[in-house]
């Protein structure tokens, strides 16, 4: 979650993009209606992180793959717009796209389940 904090601040990239789409007047109302979800992929990425000197590159690959899937499959519905893009931050020399694709699809399946009202379980050791 630390990684996303700067994007959500008043000068963050997400906030700036959102203002472009809803305007300053609609921003507060829009932000109050938003839900944020976080899926812990630490264990899923553990097997490949050592090949990339940590989690940054695999995480960027996963973020890019999630954007691709959500865009292509209209995951949130056809009336939704993705306001961010990951082409600039997607890793160039990455060799584990098959694993990332599996993690992305599983993560979206979990997200859809939670969005449809399935119970949320928090692993206490992850939240400390």
Question: pLDDT for 44-76, tens place per residue?
Answer: 999 999 999 999 999 999 999 999 999 888 888
Q: Are 124 and 88 in contact (CB under 8 A)?
A: no
Instruction: Annotate 71-121 with three-state secondary structure.
Output: HHHCCCCCCCCCCCCCCCCCCCCCCCHHHHHHHHHHHHHHHHHHHCCCCCC
Asked if residue 30 has pLDDT above 50, the reply is: yes
Delimit the domains of the chain by residue range.
Answer: 8-37, 42-119
19 pLDDT more than 80:
yes
Condensed to tens digits (0 to 9), the pLDDT of residues 80-107 reads: 778 888 888 899 999 999 999 999 999 9
Give the residue among 73, 82, 58, 60 at the shortest CA–CA distance from 108: 73
Please report which confidence band the pLDDT of residue 128 belongs to, taking 50, 70 and 90 as the band edges.
very low
Q: What is the DSSP letter of 37?
A: -
Q: Looking up tokens 């993690």, which residue turns up?
A: 103
């Amino acid at each position: 979650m630390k990684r996303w904090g700067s994007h959500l601040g008043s000068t963050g990239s997400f906030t700036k993009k959102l203002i472009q789409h809803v305007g300053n007047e609609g921003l507060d109302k829009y932000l109050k209606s938003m839900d944020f979800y976080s899926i812990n992929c630490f264990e899923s990425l553990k097997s490949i992180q050592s090949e990339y000197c940590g989690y940054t590159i695999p995480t960027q690959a996963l973020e890019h793959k999630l954007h691709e899937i959500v865009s292509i499959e209209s995951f949130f519905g056809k009336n939704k717009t993705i306001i961010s893009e990951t082409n600039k931050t997607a890793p160039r020399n990455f060799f584990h796209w098959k694993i990332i694709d599996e993690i992305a699809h599983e993560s979206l399946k979990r997200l859809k389940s939670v969005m449809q009202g399935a119970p949320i379980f928090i692993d206490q050791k992850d939240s400390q």
